[in-house]
Amino acid sequence: MPTPISEFVTAARASEPAVLAAALAQLTGEMRWADDERLATLRRWRAGQQDQIDAEGEAYLDEAGTELERLASSGFTEVAVVNDSTDLLRIARAAIDERLDASFIHKLEHHLNPELGKVRIDPTAIERRNLKVTIVGAGMSGIGLAFSLAEAGIDYEILDMSQEPGGIWFDNIYPECGVDTQAFQYAWDAEPNLEWTRFDVKRDEILQYVKDAAFKRGVLDRIQFGTKVEAGTWDAETSRWRLDVTRGGESDVMTTDVLVVAVGSLNRPKIPNIPGSESFKGETFHTARWREDLSLEGKRVAIIGSGSSGVQVTRAIADIADELLVFVRSPHWMRPRKPTEIGPVSEGKRWLLQNLPNYLAWYRFYLDYVLGDREHRRMILQETPDGLKPSPENDAVREELTAYIRKELGGREDLIEKVTPSYPPYSKRLVVDNDWYKTLTRPHVSLVSSEIVGLDESGILTGDGNHYPVDVIGFATGFHGTQYFWPLDLISAKGKRLAETFGSGDDVRAYLGVVMADYPNLFALQGPNTAIGHGGGATFMSEGQGRFIMTCLKTLIEEDKRSVTIKPEVVDAYNQTIDERLSRMVWTEPGLTSRFRNTTGRVVTNHPWTLLEFWERTRSPKMEDFIVESRMDDTEDGNDGSRSMSNTAGSPA
């Protein structure tokens, strides 16, 4: 009869071995856990590169389980915790098996102790200055900033046109809607979630997490739902933003000292302008506006698009519809979910997260690197005699994903050719497969790659002369993702709208996606050029921007100033750097259109930085990059009450 496996060994076997090794090495001060040669095969096993644990790897995890039992028996009190930066970096290098340079140490320390990154503001100054902050948008970015404002004691409110918090997770209710990011990356540092039920977490659970966290932190009471902000105008006389809002069909005016726009860019569905659309007699929907009253049983359904939402929803529609037509003109590269990214979270994994000190911190650091920054190099073009070309690492991804397509389609050559992209991987957003390829092989599902040229009363017309009768058309065609802040009308200190300031409504430029020249006391979360093109959690980006904002508020409050505005030359220099870096990324593939690029072809959504670089750039802004204006009754800096300043108080304490 086999010997029962203890709960501690079960937990060890549920771990990411590299994370477990790092946590044990830090906790015990024994480098043997990170240096062990058996970790090499264990890393391959968890990455899905071998079918099972070999005997040596199993022995390592058994030993780790015994160590967990020993540590737990003392309540994790008999430990020798390593906190020295050099030793922590050595642990990270050995456990994760990468030559991480010293720049990673500060980010690692941030994960191990998030308190280090908090911006401390004098409570007395907060009470004296009585600053009011208004956030537009009750999605994850806006609520995350509210956590920081509430903790600091700064007066704030959130305005949202919906009736519940959650942003895109409130809007999107289509079947199988979920996040492509691994669940434990997709959570706030300030409010970690150890209760995810799945690694590939779905919409309902994400929305409940948002609601629960907002309720726990008292944020729900600060949200004015059903309030649509139509316009924001800077009033130079009062140094406040005037907000024109609509509630219940009635117009109103509000004012605020600081305006934070947290509406994102994936909130306005894009429906293509197809000739004859008005003549179609069937029913239509956009995935972001899924109709719960719509019955698909027994229907001929067309789904247009193969981006993330289209790939997620196709399998569910195929399970219901009598016939499904999938229209795809420009296919996406799709990758399978790795074993660490799919399925239920085991009790063993949950035990580690809830009980082993710093396991979550190492886990977040590990995921940011392995699923994020390690991928970044694959997107950088390389110099060749023939100009800039995709790297060998990118070519290797193409080979892997092409092999995956062939495997999933089971030799269906008619489909393989149609769904294999001709452009390098990552040039468009890499989509995570949700059995999309396998769904195409079902007998009642057809793939159409011909261009749609029109609609008539009964169906879809394509450029090859075919007509496809359908009862329902679903648009999985994305959003107006390059039109930042639209349709919110923002009017600058010079009286200019965004399109006038930048010469185009889809070419808005900002510094770190947060601040724009001529827009005092205006901040953005998830603004232009802040999307991650290589992997990582969006909450990580917005929390970095939140620290940037809090540092600017620190100056306004502690130095009793009326406004801060980024200098135009700083924004210009930053965007020149961004454009130069972007020109060497695969997203600029010639002739390719994508959600990353505006009407001129410029990449306006993604930033070219690694997660580490973006974190470093946002964690402590230089106040000498800003024009800081004094209050009207403060004359020490001149009659006009304004000055440019260098200020060391902006650094988080």
pLDDT in tens, 143-172: 999 999 999 999 999 999 999 999 999 999
Using the predicted structure, report yes or no on whether residue 111 has a pLDDT greater than 60: yes
pLDDT of residue 337 exceeding 90: no
The conformation of residue 373, written as its DSSP 8-state character, comes to I
pLDDT score recorded for residue 632: 62
Picking from 475, 491, 516, the residue at the C-terminal end of a domain is 475
In a domain, 650, yes or no: no
Query: Which of 475, 508, 525 is the last residue in one of the domains?
Result: 475
Residues 399 and 462 in one domain: yes
Residues 193 and 296 in one domain: no
643 located within any domain: no
496 and 555 part of one domain: yes
pLDDT at 72 over 90: yes
Do 451 and 320 belong to one domain?
A: yes
In this structure, of 95-99, 305-309, 635-639, the range with the lowest mean pLDDT score is 635-639
* Listed range (68-72, 474-478, 566-570, 618-622) with the worst mean pLDDT: 618-622
- Whether 242 shows a pLDDT value over 90: the answer reads yes
For residue 4, name the pLDDT band (cuts at 50, 70, 90).
low
**Same domain, residue pair 250 and 170:** yes
pLDDT band (50, 70, 90) for residue 116: confident
In a shared domain, residues 173 and 293: no
Which burial class, exposed, middle or buried, applies to 198 when counting CB atoms under 10 A from its CB (0-12, 13-18, 19+)?
A: middle
The structural domain count of the chain equals 3
- Partnered with residue 559 across adjacent β-strands are none
pLDDT at residue 653 greater than cutoff 70: no
Give burial (CB, 10 Å; 0-12/13-18/19+) of 489: middle
Please give the pLDDT value at position 391: 96
**Domain end position, chosen among 447, 475, 503:** 475
Same domain, 285 and 401: yes
Task: Give the pLDDT of residue 357.
Answer: 95
Strand-pairing partners, residue 388, are 383
pLDDT value at residue 637: 41
Question: Are residue 421 and residue 364 in the same domain, yes or no?
Answer: no
- Is 377 among the domain residues? no
For residue 641, which of 522, 520, 501 has the smallest C-alpha distance?
A: 520
Same domain, 83 and 215: no
Co-location of 226 and 297 in the same domain: no
Residue at 341 is within a domain: no
- Write out the residue range of the structural domain in which residue 437 sits: 277-332+383-475
The whole-angstrom separation of Cα 651 and Cα 638 is 26
Least confident of 245-249, 591-595, 605-609: 591-595
The number of angstroms, rounded, from the C-alpha of 577 to the middle of its chain's C-alpha atoms is: 22
More confident residue, 164 or 48: 164
In a domain, 394, yes or no: yes
Q: Residue 563 contacts by C-beta under 8 Å, 6 or more apart in sequence?
A: 239, 520, 521, 556, 627, 628, 629
Q: Is residue 346 part of a domain?
A: no
Label the pairing between strands 522-524 and 467-469: unpaired
Inside any domain, residue 391: yes
The answer to the question of residue 431 being in a domain is yes
Q: Are residues 469 and 429 in the same domain?
A: yes
Assess whether pLDDT exceeds 60 at residue 641. no
Has residue 327 got a pLDDT over 60?
yes
pLDDT band at residue 390 under the 50/70/90 scheme: very high
Same-domain check for residues 614 and 497: yes
CATH number of domain containing 401: 3.50.50.60
